[in-house]
Structure 1
Amino acid sequence: MAWSQDEERMLAQIESYLTDDDPRLAARLESFNERVERRETQTRKRAARAGRGRRRPSRSTIIILVSWLLIATLIATLLIMVFRHDAAALPI
């Protein structure tokens, strides 16, 4: 919803009174607004980057995946060795 001209004029007057009354407050508010704007810009950039392509898995995800794969391979190898040993030990 757009502001009316009277509302904009009143807001401008309030702003000028506050700026004149406490310049440090005005500087703090300006600094805060700049930081918020930078953060919003960074958030938009991240969202644009994330929307472009597939997200890469993190390093910890890759380490966990490789660890599980290694464990599964070792278990399968041990089972094969056990079954072959049992088959070789049975008398014919």
Structure 2
Amino acid sequence: MIEVKIDEKEIKKIFLEEIEKHIKKIENETLFWDTDDLMKNTKMCWNTIQEKFFFDPRFPKRKVGRRWMFPAEKTKKFLLEWIDEQPNH
């Protein structure tokens, strides 16, 4: 008879590491965000985005046809800098 013991903590650790790898892979494949992505990733509505940072000259954006496009990595970098600049109330 064979007995197998499973360390549930180790299985959970391996599982979470694999999920993290896949998330990073997906994030790295996204080259541009559109306005829907920007709203989803910032958890802000379009009006709030325009009011808070859209017109900041440092904010990376390009109008392609009728759509706004945002380079994903540059946009993430800007947003992290921008949030650090906000008053802490």
TM-score, with length taken from structure 2: 0.34
Larger RCO, structure (CA 8 Å, separation 6 or more):
2
TM-score, with length taken from structure 1: 0.33
Bigger Rg, which one: 1
